[in-house]
Amino acid sequence: MSDFIPVNVPILNGNERKYLNECIETGWISSEGPFVKKFEDEFAKLINKKYAISVTNGSAALEAAISALNLKKGDEVILPTFTIISCVAPLIRLGINPIFIDSYDDTWNMDISQIEDKITLKTKAIMAVHIFGLSVDMDPLIKLANQYNLLIIEDAAQAIGLNYKGKPCGSFGDISTFSFYPNKLITSGEGGMIVTDDETLAERCRSLRNLCFKPEKRFVHEELGWNFRMTNLQAAVGLAQLEQLSESVIKKRWIGNKYQENLKEADGLIQLPLQKIEYTENIYWVFAMVLNDMTSLNGADEMMAELSQYGIGSRPFFFPLHNQPVLGYSNSECPVSETIARNGFYVPSGLAITADEIDRVSESVIDILQKYAIQ
């Protein structure tokens, strides 16, 4: 078998080494180093927000951001069921009730048309989560938020470099979060960012990420926070990655478009991601697909097992939050999310992937689909 093709290999060919060497040579490796503020400032400019607060990862960004909003136990937050568990975990820990929304069957983002019926007097916020490289339709969501006086929490972890109607994803929330995990368009290994235009929220997030130390009495605490501080080493890598974001976006769209062209032969056997819609163009954070009923494959698990025999890495779609065993919910009103979770997977599409590797992955996908095609 040929060499294994992993789902993601990042590119670190900019100023990462130079900036890391500077950290080591100066001794500034902790969260107090100068690259932290440089990265925050440049990221705030990128998203067109006043304040950016770096943290240890995207999940930490959500924890601190949601805690900073001062929501109360019993409040409700509306969010998509089709997303990572990091989006709901802070709500559960704070005693806030999540209200789940199903997905559209073409973009896989939350179905905005379902939101209004779920709004009650207890609803305090809507969480918009951009999925797999296509943005949520923000205008109608913003209209609802304004109409009902709701906060917008925007999770743009999978949408770094993506625009909605010409404006950067992450710029629409009262508070917005990002992840810099290795499969993101900007990576710092692990890392995350919170952005906002609200100075009070920004200060609260800074306090929460820093154990709620008080300037006047550092070790006297009036509330509990976390050590979510990003190190100077992480920020140095993140800044170098940010400098190359435009090129990374171009590369991601090239990867996606090449897959689209290669997989035309599989038309009718699988649902491919949308290339563009009226308000956004796919950034192909990952190249995702959903099996349909034209093959005898028993869901994405069987497809991924087949791909592994070809030396191809893959990952399943998110498992819907309303079905997560740890949460204990029982909800049968999200059939689209359940279907795409059962039948969806994505293939290698990291920034370091080559044209030959994309061709090999595509050929493998087609071989498997044709092998299981229902005649």
To which H or E segment does residue 77 belong?
strand 76-80
Contact in structure between 341 and 244 (CB atoms under 8 Å): no
Domain ranges of the chain: 16-242, 245-371
Three-state DSSP at 181 gives coil
Please give the Cα distance from 211 to 232 (Å, whole number). 18
**Cα(131)–Cα(340) distance, integer angstroms:** 13
CA distance 52 to 62: 13
DSSP letter assigned to residue 61: H
Residue 151, both tokens: 């906060």
**CATH class of residue range 16-242:** alpha beta
Of 329, 184, 316, the C-alpha closest to 193 is: 184
H or E element: which one contains 289?
strand 287-291
CB atoms within 10 A of CB 24: 11
Amino acid at the residue 200: T
Of 12, 9, 7, which is closest to residue 244 (Cα–Cα)?
12
Strand, helix or coil at 346? strand
At 40, give phi and psi (nearest 5°): -60, -45
| Strand bridging mode 123-129 / 151-155 | parallel
Residue 224 is given by DSSP the state -
DSSP 114: G
3-class DSSP state for residue 132? coil
What is the reported pLDDT for 1?
A: 46
Q: How far apart are CA 25 and CA 21, in angstroms?
A: 6
Type and span of the H or E element at 193: strand 192-196
**How many Cα atoms sit within 13 Å of 47 on the Cβ side?**
31
Query: Which residue's structure tokens are 């805690």?
Result: 67
- Assigned CATH class of 245-371: alpha beta
H/E stretch holding 125 reads strand 123-129
Q: What is the number of other CB atoms lying within 10 angstroms of the CB of residue 346?
A: 22
Contact 28, 372 (CB under 8 A): no
Helices (H), the chain: 16-26, 34-47, 58-68, 89-93, 138-147, 199-209, 232-242, 245-262, 299-309, 335-343, 355-371
Could you tell me the pTM of the whole model? Answer: 0.96
Sequence-distant (6+) residues with CB within 8 A of 98 are 76, 77, 79, 88, 91, 92, 321
**Distance between CA atoms of residues 259 and 362, nearest Å:** 7
> Residue length, the chain?
375
CB atoms < 10 A from the CB of 194, how many?
Answer: 33
**What's the sign of the alpha-carbon dihedral 237, 240, 245, 248?**
negative
Diameter over CA atoms, the chain: 75
Do the domains 245-371 and 16-242 match in fold? Answer: no
Average pLDDT, consecutive stretches of 10 residues, N- to C-terminus, the chain (375 residues): 87 97 97 97 98 98 98 98 98 96 97 97 98 98 98 98 98 98 97 98 97 90 95 98 98 98 93 96 98 94 97 97 87 88 98 98 97 90
